[in-house]
Structure 1
Amino acid sequence: MGTETAGLREAKKQETRQLISDHATRLFLEQGFEDTTIAEIADAARVAKKTVTNYFARKEDMALDHQEAFAGALARTVADRAPGESALGALRRAFGEDVGRRSPVAGFSGLPFARMVADSPTLTARLRDLHDRREEELARALAEATAAAPEDITPAAAAAQLAAAHRLLFGRIQELTLAGHPVDAVAESVVQDADQVFAMLEPALADYAVAPPAD
């Protein structure tokens, strides 16, 4: 009974969190992020202001609700790479899969959301922070994958290059979206861009952090 009650309680929390996030996103898109208040979000979700701040420490957390997935995506890809696959190969493959899915983590957010972020200094700054965090997590994953010594700068250097490629391609998707290109055209264009960007990294990183063969 205790486990069942705890499960129901957690489900209710997730439901409330999603309700707040959904109403917040709707208001952000309608009014702009900077012009929407916590009080307005609470009223729309029919909860107290304190409930909103209990679930979301910062207002931007309600808009960028894929933060954890975004920040950890590159590190997880490296950790899960196939036997014999390099870090670059895994990240290149995963990016192509994300484009195929039109994943928000790759940058596919739709025109209204992309415009909302671009028009908000707060959200733009937060997105830069998330890109930085993604690079840091990738560096840690590469250090673990290569058993690098703490003083070895190689994982950080590799992460800087790989994360910069993803940051560039994310920005390219946003740029094309804001210019009004259809999502399929954006995907087709960025696939070509990705081929060029990742090919430039091949000479330096093609054989770096290759996963050991399967037993």
Structure 2
Amino acid sequence: MTVPLIALDADPFTLFGQWMAEAERAEPNDANAMTLATATPGGRPSARMVLLKGWDRAGFVFYTNLESRKGDEIAANPHAALLFHWKSLRRQIRIEGPLLPVTEAEADAYFASRRRISRLGAIASDQSRPLADRAAFEARVAELGSRYPAEDSVIPRPANWSGFRLSPDAMEFWQDYPYRLHDRAVWDFTNGGTPTATRLYP
């Protein structure tokens, strides 16, 4: 059965929600995994996988150590690109735009929602810095665990751990078609009004 073409009169956020819901049913794990690409002011790119932790019409949210490599790059050049690739569905979505910090309240709420061991690990990790051996990291986690032994312990969010919201300048939807005659459509948000949809050559 031929997959219907992407409708250019669709609302891109509604379409994103539909594709994400289908991915959550079809993907074996982490349907919310996305590639986050950042760059230095000099244009040197870097990319890694992170998890989408919230989205709405204001943008797409992820969390990180602000002193990590990506944190440093975002501080110096607050623009990024996201890529969702759902292999089982033969679909991908690319999103590009500026990054803004989430609010303190949002960061606190999400940090508190994480499992205890994940909160301890976030505090113990000097993310992206050299680690002499694994035992040193595990010792830090164990020491913190002795300070906060209960599963429901109130573990304060460290100041160097927070999140960002990418506000889209563009959202591009791609789906596989036979013989590499793929279907692509992009929504441009930079005109200040209703986003403009354009179908692209594959």
Q: Which structure dedicates a bigger proportion of its chain to strand?
A: 2
Q: Which structure dedicates a bigger proportion of its chain to helix?
A: 1
Q: Same fold (TM over 0.5)?
A: no
Q: Higher relative contact order at CA 8 Å, sep ≥6: structure 1 or structure 2?
A: 1
TM-score (ref. length: structure 2): 0.29
